[in-house]
Chains A and B, each alone.
Chain A
Amino acid sequence: MDDNIEILGTCLYLKKEKALVIADLHIGYEEYLNKTGVLVPRFQFGETMEALDKLTDGRDFQTVIINGDLKHEFGSISRTEWRQTLRILDYLSEISEKIVLVKGNHDTILGPIAKRRNLKTVDEYQLGKYFFCHGHQMPEVIPSNSTLIIGHEHPAVGIRDGVRTEVFKCFIEGECEGRRIIVMPSSNPVVEGSNLLRDKILSPVLKGCELKEFKVYVVSDKIYDFGRVRDLL
């Protein structure tokens, strides 16, 4: 992407700022499914912790930015979910100096959880030349020359050869109305994402953007530069 950005699995690492960016963890997604009558057994939390452990790999960070939808909320929160969310926050505060919680559309009651750990929640956050917001609504002002980094979209692409199609999570990056935008995939191991090559775009931030010209970085065992969206169509 640029010299200052490294892709770590589904997360971003900003070298100069020593910042780790995570989007759309959706903790409690399986519990949410349970509450809608789907008896999916719970593997998500263990897998999330494992994945975080692997990608942070003993590094220390100045800042961890959670770019929205830390928790997948639906009605009441169970004790297990409280515990899990706090455990992830505790884990992240162990490896960083500061945690920034950016609010997402699923974070309507993120406040109480943040309070428990003396954290504040923000709608948007500026760090160096990077501007973070979740992406479910258009920020009122974006400082010029900032790179906009969002989540929400859960981007993925269907890679096809012959009859076979496999869907992979991806980052996309491109220019829109003179501004550079990076869209991050969901860091939830259970959620696959929506196929950019097939589904309609969700985020208002991306409305009117020439997505075909966006670059695609596929996330798998490592990161694969897949050229531009139009090359995959």
Chain B
Amino acid sequence: MLTYKKEPDKPSQVFKILNPLVERWFMSKFKELSLPQRYGVLEIHSRNNILISAPTGATKTLTGFMAILNELADSAQKGILEDRIYCIYISPLKALNYDIEHNLMEPLEEMEKIHGEELGIRVAVRTGDTTAAEKSRMLKKPPHILITTPESLGILLSSIKFRENLRGVQWVVVDEIHALAENKRGVHLSLSLERLEELSPHITRVGLSATIAPLEEIAGFLVGSKRPCKIVDVQFIKEMDLKVLSPVPDLIDVTQRDMHDKMYKLLHGLIQQHKTSLIFTNTRAGTERVVHFLKDKFPGKYVGNIGAHHGSLSKEHRHGIEKRLREGKLKVVVSSTSLELGIDIGYIDLVVLLGSPKSVARALQRVGRSGHQLHSTTKGRIIVLDRDDLVECSVLLKSAIEKKIDRIHIPKNCLDVLAQHIVGMAIDRDWTEKEMLDTIRQSYCFSELKRTEFEGVLSFLAGEYTSLEDRHVYARIRRKDGVIKRRGKLGRVIYMTNIGTIPDQSGVAVKVGKQKVGTIDEGFLERLRKRDVFVLGGDTYEFRYARGQVAHVEPTRHKPPTVPSWFSEMLPLSFDLANQIGHFRWMMEDMFRNGASKEEVMQFINNHVYVDENAASSIYKYFREQWDYKEVMPTEKTILVEHFKDEENNKMLFHTLYGRRVNDVLSRALAYGISKTTRKDVGVGINDNGFYVELGKKMEIMPAFKLLKSDELPELMKQAIDKTEVLKRRFRHCAGRALMILRNYMGRTKRVGRQQMSSHILLSAVKKISNDFPILAEARREVLEDQMDIDSAAEVLRRIESGEVEIKEIDTNLPTPFGMTLAYQGKIDILRMEDRQEFLKKVHQMLLAKINLQQARKNKR
């Protein structure tokens, strides 16, 4: 029952429902209704669920609130406004909450001015930062509009007193819903909304979203599995001026230094031509670097008018930057990803993306930050830094202009989030298992939850995995005769202080003395030994020692890295965009195969993707080189397997352009297949364009690759990730969400290091109980479905099985141009197939041999 609303309502119809005061206020501020308003206001007024997808600054928020403010003002004037919550507004960001409060207070004050007296409509923000005094005020006199976050809503639902205020709420507005739907915060919210529905039946749900696809899925996420929803798609109402820029005519015949100089010159030029620019760099380290080099290369130009904005910076710093942006005091702001969401940042006339944003939706969300008024043009420039980046961004731009947006992934059946909510539900009241399951299945994220999975979680929460004698320690709920009840005096406190889905920052701080220089991943730290040298944020450091969650290092200049650098922050290329690139490659190959002239190919490039002359000739050259080398090209119809062997390398490069989430699956499945027969560890490396498997002496790889079958992939991968770092890490997060490891307990907060140690012990204990323990199963699901993309990987295998994609093999002693980056990049992981003891024996023998050799040398001397 999801329906697209195709035609906007007539302005007169909308004005007809407006209270005269609200209409007068509106006309005093605006000339006319915006398109989103003409689509949305009447629906919200009529209590219809609705999803509105529009770019930032397209009056989305006012659309969401206009009918609600109208009703409240009307009731206030008539003197029938009750002391209760009418509307709950939820957004993923605390910062956005305060923004919205401001944006609601302003119209209300203006209306009161017109009206000549107070309306008495209350708006209040409730987040983790709300003080006890404010909370008790809210309890006594509930706000008419409550602004909150998904986490705080979760807490309110289970708080004894406030819960009563959540009865009879009429509207719930979910802002930036695209940013919530794709992760477990959204899954958590979807169940909270069902619990809210229990208290406020038939609540009207309003979703506000930036550019995203498919809208049907987002609408489903908003309203749950069975309710109707109208969808309004005004994503493309703003004019777009988008271009891909290359700093140099030729991206390969250029020195690092030259490239660097030209890139900053280009960037500087763009900034100077515009009033205020926003630059996205993808990584935090990149953000710092760009700020540094702009200041360094153009003395005097960037003093006091430039700012960095990313998640590692303090809240005060970020707020300061946002404030100065709004006041128009900054010429340029550099951000990693943190300014993607819709905090009001004032007037931006140019958005620059340094390097590929990896997905069409993300590109559109980012460039949508420019031209913040409805009728101004969105202006975005993507600066590419290498040839793969160029091809990727060119195709991305084409998709953006042609409105082909890649699909979002919404996590389903997350058993850890489910466990947390069941504890919450049991605290609220007693439930029969059946009615509890029915309520849970209303949520879009759990509509297909199996009864056995549900019962597995109940059994876990009831502590049934331990002996009867110990059960009182482990049980979070009481389960008897098909009825679920709460358990223990501490139950509520434990739940309230450990609610939420965002794991504690798991990054290990890297410090030189007391100065923090960055963060690395836990898994990376585990591999480090004293004196190892690694690259972080462009600088080289020597590892000294670790203490808890801090790695102490010293800067080095002349030592080469001893361990491969770390990529955990990198955004993955979306599967849909990857397929578009594969399609482009196929069309290019077709031209070369048919002997097209340079002019013809250039003509095609110019027609097909929207790039400048520099970029087009770079693309031509790149593809020409690939074709000329072996007359073979990886495309959407061909997976090229390159056996690359030289003095140092012996690798099988798989040109599988499907994004790293898919390649992560394919590479591990293959490595696992090989190592299962050889019992040896196999090294793998991946990027968005492919993966490689590193060979021992004699290994047959292709037979193992051909053995991979789409229908066997889930079982194979379950085994392949069993001993990996990623599983360990995700297990800790899942155990935290499922309240198996409490972050806050008895007034103490556990540091990440402690949580990590406990989770290692917990994981091995849980495995002894059952390999399908719900939380372990959920950690696996999260790794395979959320972090990796097992479904699309299976899709790739199906294409091979059906013959749609063929496999070609070649031997090289110098990698093909398309394989160059992959061939020389470091390994990301290893499949631990060799038995622990065998591994130890092997290293032991190697060490003995080394020591003997040293001894022999000494004796010689």
Q: Which A positions have Cβ atoms within 8 angstroms of B?
A: 30, 33-34, 36-43, 158-166, 168, 190, 192, 195, 197-200, 218, 220-221, 224, 226-227, 231-233
Chain B nearest CB: distance from A101 CB in Å?
A: 26
B529 touches A198 (CB 8 A): yes
Indicate which residue in A37, A161, A231 contacts B839 across the interface (CB closer than 8 Å): A161
Give the nearest-CB partner of B547 in chain A: A200
Q: Is B769 an interface residue (CB 8 A)?
A: yes
Docked pose: A208 CA to B844 CA in angstroms: 28
CA–CA, A106 and B466, complex, Å: 27
Among residues of B, the one whose C-beta sits closest to the C-beta of A161 is: B843
Q: In angstroms, how far is the closest chain A Cβ from the Cβ of B368?
A: 40
Assuming the contacts A39-B762, A233-B530, asked whether A200 and B545 have C-beta atoms less than 8 A apart, the reply is yes
Contact of B758 among A38, A195, A224, A233 (CB under 8 A): A38
**Whole-angstrom distance between the Cβ of B411 and the nearest chain A Cβ:** 24
Known pairs A36-B758, A37-B745, A38-B740 / 12 extra A-B pairs, C-beta < 8 Å: A37-B746, A38-B761, A39-B740, A40-B758, A41-B769, A163-B564, A200-B547, A221-B837, A224-B841, A224-B844, A232-B847, A233-B529
Knowing A192-B760, A197-B529 are in contact, say whether A36-B827 is a contact too (CB < 8 A): no
Question: A198, B546: Cβ atoms under 8 Å?
Answer: yes
Q: CB distance A165 to B765 under 8 Å?
A: no
Stretch at the interface among B174-182, B225-233, B421-429, B828-836: B828-836
- Find the A residue at minimum CB distance from B543: A198
**Once the chains bind, are B847 and A231 in contact (CB under 8 Å)?**
yes
B758 touches A41 (CB 8 A): no
- Shortest Cβ distance from residue B372 to the other chain A in the assembled complex, whole angstroms: 46
Name the A residues within 8 Å of B434 (CB-CB). none
What is the CA–CA distance of A222 and B630 in the complex, to the nearest angstrom?
53
Contact: B847 with A226, CB < 8 Å? yes
A42 surroundings in chain B (CB, below 8 A):
466, 470
Interface residues of B (CB under 8 A from A): 465-466, 470, 473-474, 494, 525-531, 545-547, 564, 681, 683, 739-742, 744-746, 748, 750, 754, 758, 760-762, 765-766, 768-769, 827, 829-830, 832, 836-837, 839-844, 846-848, 850-851
Contacts of B851 in A (CB 8 A): 227, 231
Contact B846 A161 (CB under 8 A): yes
A224 and B840 in contact, given A36-B745, A198-B530 (Cβ under 8 angstroms): yes
| 11 A–B contacts, CB within 8 A, in A order | A33-B758, A33-B761, A41-B768, A42-B466, A162-B827, A163-B564, A163-B683, A198-B528, A220-B836, A224-B844, A233-B531
Question: For residue B745, which residues in chain A have a CB less than 8 angstroms away from its CB?
Answer: 36-37
Task: State A41–B473 Cα separation when bound (angstroms).
Answer: 10
Q: What distance in Å separates the Cβ of A218 from its nearest Cβ neighbour in chain B?
A: 7
> Which residue from chain B places its CB closest to the CB of A222 in the assembled complex?
B837
- Who on chain B is nearest to A29 by CB? B761
Most buried by A among B748, B750, B768, B844: B844
With a cutoff of 8 Å between Cβ atoms, the chain A residues found around residue B768 in the complex are: 41, 43
Most buried by B among A37, A164, A190, A226: A37
Residue in chain A with minimal CB distance to B490: A37
Once the chains bind, are A199 and B547 in contact (CB under 8 Å)?
yes
- Given A38-B762, A226-B847, A227-B847, are A200 and B546 also a contact pair (CB < 8 Å)? yes
Contact B546 A162 (CB under 8 A): no
Chain A residues with CB under 8 Å of B746's CB are 36-37
A203 to B126, CA, bound (A): 48
Alpha-carbon distance between A195 and B546 when the two chains are bound, in angstroms: 9
CA distance A33 to B528 in the complex (A): 27
The interface residues of chain A lying within 8 Å CB-to-CB of B762 are: 38-40
Closest chain A residue to B684, Cβ basis: A163
**A159, B843: Cβ atoms closer than 8 Å:** yes
Please state if B840 and A159 are interface contacts (CB–CB under 8 Å): yes
Flag if B761 contacts A40 (CB, 8 Å).
yes
Question: Which residue from A41, A165, A192, A220 sits with its C-beta under 8 Å from B766?
Answer: A41
- Docked CA distance A164–B828 (Å): 11
Are B466 and A41 touching (Cβ within 8 A)?
yes
- Within the complex, the shortest CB–CB distance from A217 to chain B, in Å, comes to 11
A39 touches B530 (CB 8 A): no
Query: Is B839 touching A166 in the complex (CB atoms < 8 A)?
Result: yes
Residues of A within 8 A of B832 (CB): 164
* Cα-based distance from A87 to B801 in the complex (angstroms): 61
Please indicate the chain A residues that have their CB under 8 angstroms from the CB of B829 in the complex: 163
A39/B839 in contact, CB under 8 A: no
B683's contact among A37, A162, A199, A220, by CB below 8 Å, is which?
A162
Most buried by B among A40, A43, A161: A40
| Cα-based distance from A200 to B511 in the complex (angstroms) | 14
Cβ of A232 and Cβ of B761 under 8 Å apart? no
Which chain B residue has the least Cβ–Cβ distance from A39? Answer: B740
A214 CB to closest chain B CB, in angstroms?
14
Residues of B within 8 Å of A165, CB to CB, are: 526-527
